[in-house]
Structure 1
């Protein structure tokens, strides 16, 4: 199936690119065919974010969105708070201590999944073809080594590799340019970085794991438009970093969640259980009292920012959105920068296609980024994450605040601090204290399996396991004695477990059907032995409004 542009992933970056391609082509009185592949069962099924969104890119893309039925317009942010938590108390960080760009003025809070569904409708109105339930499984190349397109995965393949009765081979989609918009740690994007050495001149990417729940709460406690961010407890008990969010959204719901940066050192840390423990803080527990948890999900996020951005282009394609890593960590926002990246790549592709070029490098995208507000925004905050990691949550945050103020006022810092890979940070289990997390009460705190149930996760069980091991012996022979096999704890869906250890015959079990596609295992595994690849199209979580 030939197209001018194929886009892998119907997230905010991919859909913004699709819309901009059609807009720019129309302005040039040209016809450009665009296809978007989405591995989820529908657009939005795999989308998860807090989310508080800066509308800057949306204003550029679709200026009338507020009056055009966009669900994001329902709840503008009206109150912004930042809590520094201790075990029992909190300190409100005054606005005067933080630069204005952290104050959330002019932002909106709501479901990023629903925003993507709305964007998909706008794209289809312009003639974009969107195929949900089709996972791009392989990159195709021309004879000269440039990207030719992608192939979707075969359907109806049994676990042993044989073809079942409903077998259907994958489709090849050829394109003049292919955009990879898979989100954080996309498996094809990872291949592009390796094949074209796109990370040669940048820092390694670093990550956090966000665990999210939606709650229906007591109407008397609901304050639409109030957004709260927290830092400090409980991660400070383990020398780890991250923080929580509480967003009062539409329909009496709050989005709550907790991000654990994946550079932590203690292999007994469980990001899922840290989130459950965070909910027991008196301030958070009081808000949720009498409420009901209605949804659950988890997703890794790219935290590296400015210095971890890879080369964005290669012959025949480009990385956009969180596949490249445009998140602004201090603002806890990446939707606007992701959307803008897709728009810049789209403009460059239209120029190339109208000029009758194909399969070359879209240098216009790189040039546009270099002159964009995206680069400026990421540059201002580039030292925040390294400072917090180096000096700890409180001193590091203070130093980070000073650098942000200086950069905001035009005093550019003469240095850029660097990142180190998350999978290299774990200490041996004999060097750390084992963490005893409280048992869930089923009212405020919960276990992983009941949580996965709320994510509506489903995979065809008789299919090849999509969580592959480069060496099947490593989990038991190396990771277990060295780190007590940390995959048992860093996975927020209970995918990995060791069984038979009490009888002296330990075995590493992968419950792939539980996978919520967060990618944490692919990131944090200390020997990089776990490689996440796409399962059969349509598998995974089915988030209704995350």
Structure 2
């Protein structure tokens, strides 16, 4: 199937790009065909964010959105920021400034944006996973291919077999989200990091639950963040507690994936956090209704690669536009999609004017220029030093953050850099002691499989595993003896577990059907031996209020 523009990923960036393209068509009297493919079973099913929405980009994209029915209803009413010790919560000045922003479920917002795109004539195909990039003979991107459906684990065709589709585009925009598998392939093929002289990308893993709490404890619009306990002072991370509508509270914990201790479990750190005397009373008597996890980019300004390549561009978190100190990236992702759409529209219009429609490589160089001239680039530049400053530890990071935020205003004449990827920070288990985590009480804290059930994750068990080992011997020869099998701890879905073989030796077993598509394994595996590929379309989590 041929389109003018193919967009991979129905997230905020991809849908904003689709909407802006159709808006430009209406403004200029053109008719471009636009399609969006989404690996989730429905739009929003794979979207997770601890989301306080800054509406700046939305105001530009849909200026009248406040006059319409939407899921963006709860204005942020206050900001509270605490430093936690094991028993205390110490109030500190809040750097977040959430006045004028909205507490939302980003999966709900994304579904709403999807309906807006469809109203404008965008074709959206949920349940179709983009598995391969298509290239022209000259090497330019020419679209994507979805994977075959109905293939059994042994590679045979089931009765439900359906051949994958080639979706060919004159321009292809990749908005797969953080650590997108095709986006990573494109960065390597076209040397996008090298061209931009970008630092290695740095990541964190965010783990989130949505609770229904006692109405007497609910404060719609209240936003709370914490740093400190239970993490040690050398590991970056913190929590968010956002009071949504209808007595629901989003509570989550973010752990930077450049941590050193292989015994650390982000999931267990989150469970332990909920037991803090400051947090537990809010949840007591409540009900946990949904669980999920997703990786996020933390590299910021220094780690943004070159955005454009022959035939397409990276948008949203595929490139990495999260403002880490604000803990916000939806508005910057949306703006990147809008700017890419405008560049694509101009390039395709010029292509038609030249009488070479589809006959030459479309280059979106104006997209990179426009983004660097936009408020996105200025925002990322001002925030560039705060997250790397925490490599000096919690106290050094907090001290520098105060200096940068209140005195230097992000205009320091220096830039801190990321020197190595996250997986290279993991240290051998011999340098650390195992961490004793409390057993779940099944009221506030839960075992991992109970939580996984709340994510509505579903994969057809009889399909080829989408998580593959480049060298099957590495877990037994390196990961287990050197790092004490970290896969079972950094994964928040029990995909990886070591089980004894017939000789009572630990062997790695992969439960691919549990996968939350968080990408932590792709990022943190110490030897980069795990290859994350897309499963059959429609598989994965089924988020509704995340």
TM-score range, shorter chain: over 0.9
Residue pair 1:317, 1:359 contacting (<8 A) in 2 also: no
1:229 aligned partner: 225
**Other-structure match for 1:375:** 377
Q: Which residue of 1 aligns with 2:254?
A: 259
1:400 CA drift (Å) = 2.1
> Partners of 2:414 and 2:465 in 1: how far apart?
48
Aligned residue in 1 for 2:357: none
Please give the alpha-carbon distance, in whole angstroms, between the structure 2 residues aligned to 1:209 and 1:183.
13
Residue by residue over 1:15-40, the C-alpha shift from the partner in whole angstroms, topping out at 9 and shown as x without a partner, is 00000000112211111110000000
Asked if the contact 1:224–1:248 (Cα under 8 Å) also holds between the matched residues in 2, the reply is: yes
What is the aligned partner in structure 1 of residue 131 from structure 2?
137
Q: In 2 relative to 1, CA 373–292 (structure 1 residues): closer, same or farther, beyond 3 Å?
A: same
Match of 1:299 in 2: 294
> Where does 1:108-119 land on structure 2 (aligned, <5 Å)?
108-119=102-113
The one-character-per-residue Cα deviations of 1:39-85 (angstroms, maximum 9, x if unpaired) are 0000000000011110000000001111211111x100011111111
1:422 aligns with 2:422: yes
The reply on whether 1:384 has 2:400 as its aligned counterpart is no
Match of 2:319 in 1: 324
Match of 2:526 in 1: 526
Query: Aligned pair in 2 of structure 1 residues 512, 169: CA closer, same or farther (>3 Å)?
Result: same
Q: Report the counterpart of residue 85 of structure 2 in structure 1.
A: 86
Shift in CA distance, 14/407, structure 1 to aligned 2, threshold 3 Å: farther
Separation in 2, partners of 1:236, 1:508: 29
Q: Tell me the residue number matched to 1:212.
A: 208
**Any gaps of 5 or more consecutive residues in structure 1?**
none
182, 188, 193: which one pairs with 1:194? 188
Residue in 2 that maps onto 1:439: 439
**1:93-104 matched pairs, under 5 angstroms:** 93-95=92-94, 98=95, 102-104=96-98
SS in 1 for 2:75: coil
CA distance in structure 2 between the partners assigned to 1:339 and 1:138 by the alignment: 24
Find the counterpart in structure 2 of residue 271 from structure 1. 266
Partner Cα distance (1:180, 1:213) in 2: 28
TM-score, scaled to structure 2 = 0.97
| Equivalent-residue separation in structure 2 for 1:361 and 1:355 (angstroms) | 11
| Whole-angstrom CA distance in 2 between matches of 1:302 and 1:346 | 22
| Aligned-partner Cα distance in 2 for 1:425–1:502 | 34
**What runs of 5+ residues in structure 2 fail to find an aligned partner?**
353-359
Please name the residue that 1:287 is paired with: 282
Q: Quick one: which of 164, 183, 200 aligns to 2:158?
A: 164
Matched with 2:486 is: 486
Query: Deviation at 1:426?
Result: 1.0
The separation in 2 between residues aligned to 1:273 and 1:89, in whole angstroms, is: 20
Partners of 1:48 and 1:299 within 8 A in 2: yes
Counterpart secondary structure, 2:185: helix
Instruction: Show the counterpart of 1:181.
Output: 175
Q: Find runs of 4+ consecutive structure 1 residues off by over 4 angstroms.
A: none
Q: CA RMSD in A?
A: 1.2
| CA contact 1:407–1:413 (8 Å) conserved in 2 | no
- Taking structure 1 as the reference length, the TM-score comes to 0.97
